[in-house]
Amino acid sequence: MHIYSLGEVTYSVGAVAAGLLFPFLTQKMGAFSYMVSHYLLMAFALVLTVTLPYCWIFVLLSTILGGGNVSTRLVRQTLYMELLGYFSLASLLVMLQ
């Protein structure tokens, strides 16, 4: 019970860290490659969670899963807004001509 609770706490720590590092890492890597790399990192962490039945590895992987989940959600929403903003601006320019 205590390890599961600690896993949830470290999940949230990973989520907060991902949120703080998000602007820096997306500028450095690019949004799409950042999103794909974090999806792959999350998939790898999920596989390791199932295959390695050790408490502290579970806690570490919970941190990675929390960070990966938040970072992919942030990047995905940012890409959606950029894409919709681009198409909205393009349609507005077409209507003005």
- Sequence-ordered list of residues with C-beta below 8 angstroms from that of 3, at least 6 positions apart, any chain: 55, 58, 59
**C-alpha torsion sign, points 5, 8, 14, 16:** negative
- pTM for the model: 0.77
- Give the C-alpha separation, 15 to 41, whole Å: 14
pLDDT, tens only, 33-65: 888 898 999 999 999 999 998 888 999 999 999
On average, the pLDDT of the chain sits at 85
Structure tokens at 24: 């820096």
